[in-house]
Amino acid sequence: MMERMSEVTAWINVEELHPKEKADFVLSKDIELLHHIGDILTSTELQQCRVKKIDCISPSGEAVSFSLSMEAPDSSLLCVPVSSLRCSLVPVGKGDQPIHTTVTTTSTDPGVYRIQCNPSTSGAHTVKVQVYDVHLEDTSLAIPFNPYLDNITPVHTITELKHPWGVAEISMDGCCMASVGKTSLMQQQFSTPRGIAISPLTGHIYIADSNYHRIQVLNPDLTFSHLFASKVPASLRFDYPRDIAIDSQGLVYITDYSNHRIQKFSPDGKLVVQFGTKGSGPGQLKHPFGITIDTAATGLVYVSEEGNHRISVFTSDGVFVSSFGSKGSNINQFNKPTGLAFDKDGLLYVCDYSNNRVVVY
């Protein structure tokens, strides 16, 4: 049989067929290994494939990586050789210069590819995928804010506001479900409550009771739980605490406004670390106001400095990473920045208080 096959094919010049790839191979008895070869599709079927999912966007320094999978016409994952797959990103509204990527396979997930690139900006990008000579339908991707980039510019500015103070998500109907508190030193009562955060682990509500220089913690049903800064050494006392953020482990970060520092506590109020001293140098703080944590991607801590008119970025241990902004009303400038928040796509929202706008990065 094999001799007859050799006679039939001996006269064929393989190069004249213009193959995309060619190789001699022997099928393994282990059918599970066949996904390494790839799927066999006609050109028409390939044109019906689409990008199925983009997931796990992971910033690492200036680089960003994410996973990508494609769907074949029969709804299965499309497996192709890495050499046949091309992927590029194009920033939306910022020119059409593509950002080239590196494509690799994952060892555990056939049909899932790892894409790595170095985008120059955050925000919306168009993802272009080509398999052999077929361009699949474009899809979109939001690159999260990255403090390691040299060029940090806003992707959007919301103007015509009057002294914006903070950013939060609310239910669409805006109905008040419950309320608590009045002016008093008693438990569950406040004087100028500023920041508020809810533990993702326990549902406890942490409130910066600014003029009483304390943090009140309420249970999910709004009953009193405990206080921070009650019978503590002078070195731990707050001086007009402004805002609160809670990380994925339930640790509590507080902007200690007039002490020009950040205090990080365990959920029950035990000090973990303090960072920041008064000043304008790298890693120093001057009247830290708002605070937020990029819990979805990097875990980095972002602090707005009302006195330095900038945003400073730290690791969760308080190691300085970078800062951006200066006093003014131009792009990349602030005038007393206050509230901070990340959205689900990793974009950073900054309340630029005295410039009457919200700036999105």
Name the pLDDT band for 168 (thresholds 50, 70, 90): low
| 333 and 214 within one domain | yes
CATH number, position 312:
2.120.10.30
Q: How many helices (H) and strands (E) does the chain have?
A: 2, 25
CA distance 164 to 158: 10
pLDDT of residue 340: 93
7 falls within a domain: no
Q: Of 22-31, 108-117, 285-294, which range is least confident?
A: 22-31
Domain range for 262 is: 167-360
27 falls within a domain: no
| 323 and 269 within one domain | yes
The model's pTM: 0.70
Question: What stretches of the chain show up as alpha helix (H) in DSSP?
Answer: 2-9, 43-47
pLDDT of residue 35: 45
| 228 and 174 within one domain | yes
| 337 and 289 within one domain | yes
Instruction: From 59, 66, 67, 88, select the one nearest 148 (Cα to Cα).
Output: 59
| One-letter identity of residue 163 | H
Locus of tokens 């049903």 = 221
| 241 and 138 within one domain | no
**pLDDT at 261 > cutoff 90:** yes
The neighbouring-strand residues paired with 159 are: none
For range 213-225, the mean pLDDT: 89
| 324 and 258 within one domain | yes
CATH number, position 124:
2.60.40.10
The neighbouring-strand residues paired with 301 are: 293, 314
| 322 and 242 within one domain | yes
| 210 and 315 within one domain | yes
Locus of tokens 């790892």 = 114
Of 83, 108, 143, which marks where a domain is finished? 143
| 173 and 139 within one domain | no
| 284 and 194 within one domain | yes
For range 95-115, the mean pLDDT: 84
| 202 and 248 within one domain | yes
351 falls within a domain: yes
337-352 pLDDT, tens digit each: 999 999 888 889 999 9
CA distance 234 to 231: 9
| 245 and 102 within one domain | no
31 falls within a domain: no
Name the pLDDT band for 247 (thresholds 50, 70, 90): very high
Instruction: From 142, 127, 289, 312, select the one nearest 208 (Cα to Cα).
Output: 289
Classify residue 132 as left (phi > 0), alpha (psi -120 to 50) or beta.
left
Q: How many domains does the chain have?
A: 2
Of 93, 109, 143, which marks where a domain is finished? 143
Q: Of 13-17, 132-136, 262-266, which range is least confident?
A: 13-17
29 falls within a domain: no
Instruction: From 140, 84, 145, 74, select the one nearest 113 (Cα to Cα).
Output: 84
User: 153 versus 3: which is more confidently predicted?
Assistant: 153
For range 175-190, the mean pLDDT: 64
Residue 187 makes CB contacts below 8 A (sequence gap 6+) with 216, 224, 227
270-287 pLDDT, tens digit each: 899 999 999 999 999 999
